[in-house]
């Protein structure tokens, strides 16, 4: 099954991915500025997982934007 989008829909999806990518990066930056000196091991592990998930999300959204930009041309 092939899903077809109009150029306007592709642009909207691309722009939304751009916004979400920026939000993910901002959350990651805020996460890296967290003072971990008072956190226990489980909290530190949770922060590390959150950081990894935000990086994965950011990469996925960047790749999505690139593919949509190519498709739009």
Using pLDDT thresholds of 50, 70 and 90, give the confidence band for residue 68: confident
Q: What distance in Å separates the CA atoms of residue 70 and residue 62, rounded to the nearest whole number? A: 13
pLDDT in tens, 6-63: 888 888 998 999 999 999 999 999 999 999 999 999 999 999 999 999 999 999 998 9
Residue by residue, DSSP assigns 14-50 as HHHHHHHHHHHHHHHHHHHTS--TT--HHHHHHHHHH
Buried b / exposed e along 54-63 (16+ C-beta atoms within 10 A): beebbeebee
Q: What distance in Å separates the CA atoms of residue 56 and residue 50, rounded to the nearest whole number? A: 10
Q: Tell me, what's the pLDDT at 43?
A: 94
């Amino acid at each position: 099954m092939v899903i077809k989008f109009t150029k306007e829909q592709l642009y909207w999806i691309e722009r939304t991915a751009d916004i979400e990518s920026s939000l993910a990066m901002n959350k990651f930056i805020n996460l890296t500025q967290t003072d971990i000196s008072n956190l226990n091991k489980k909290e530190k592990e949770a922060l590390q997982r959150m950081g990894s998930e935000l990086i994965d999300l950011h990469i996925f959204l960047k790749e999505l934007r690139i593919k949509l930009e190519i498709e739009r041309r």
